[in-house]
Amino acid sequence: MSVDFLEWLQGTSVAVAVAEEWFPLVESVHVVTMAIVAGTIFIVDTRLLGLTSTRLPFSYLSERLLPWTWWAFAGSVLTGTLMFLSNATGYYANTPFRVKMVLLLLAGVNMLIFQKLTFRSVAAWDAIRPPAAARLAGTLSLCLWCGVIGFGRWIGFLIGK
């Protein structure tokens, strides 16, 4: 990505307003929405591993929780984008930021594979311990989201407040 474009981004009025005034609030909302995203995913993932909520069908649990995950994720993307704009050149050059984006992408790919392949046979395992492919998806998801949070916190330590 060109430096000119990144510099233009962080010079926009929205970016300047976030950098000069709104950063703490935007970051706080990012933490709240992140908590809903990660927390609901942990509940669904541990069900996928057959460890929790075993008396609830998997499809029911995910149907009830995932709308919260998606709305909160939209909030996280919005607040995350605002934070990125406030210091686009800094974030772009920040290694933990890059790793976090890759991990988010991998979490998305993992979810897509699960949805398109494993979840199609959900009727066969909805009320029992999910098959190995589902448990693998759950394990990967747990690890990837812990990584997203870990590298996310690390970004702030290198970029300063």
- Which residues in the 101-140 window bind other proteins by CB under 8 A? none
User: Which tokens hold the place of 151?
Assistant: 């590298």
For 139, residues 6+ apart whose C-beta sits below 8 A from its C-beta are 45, 49
Asked if 28 is part of the footprint of other proteins (rule: CB under 8 A), the reply reads: yes
Coil, strand, or helix at residue 126? coil
- State the Cα–Cα distance between residues 100 and 154, nearest whole angstrom: 10
DSSP letters, 37-84, are HHHHHHHHHHHHTTSS-TTS-HHHHHHHHHHHHHHHHHHHHHHHHHHH
For other proteins, which residue of 14, 22, 49, 52 counts as binding (CB under 8 A)?
A: 52
For other proteins, which residue of 14, 17, 27, 126 counts as binding (CB under 8 A)?
A: 27
For other proteins, which residue of 14, 19, 49, 56 counts as binding (CB under 8 A)?
A: 56
Asked if 48 is part of the footprint of other proteins (rule: CB under 8 A), the reply reads: no
Asked if 18 is part of the footprint of other proteins (rule: CB under 8 A), the reply reads: no
Asked if 161 is part of the footprint of other proteins (rule: CB under 8 A), the reply reads: yes
Which residues contact other proteins by CB under 8 A? Answer: 24, 27-29, 31-32, 34-40, 42-43, 52-53, 55-56, 60-61, 64-65, 68, 146, 149-150, 153-154, 157, 161
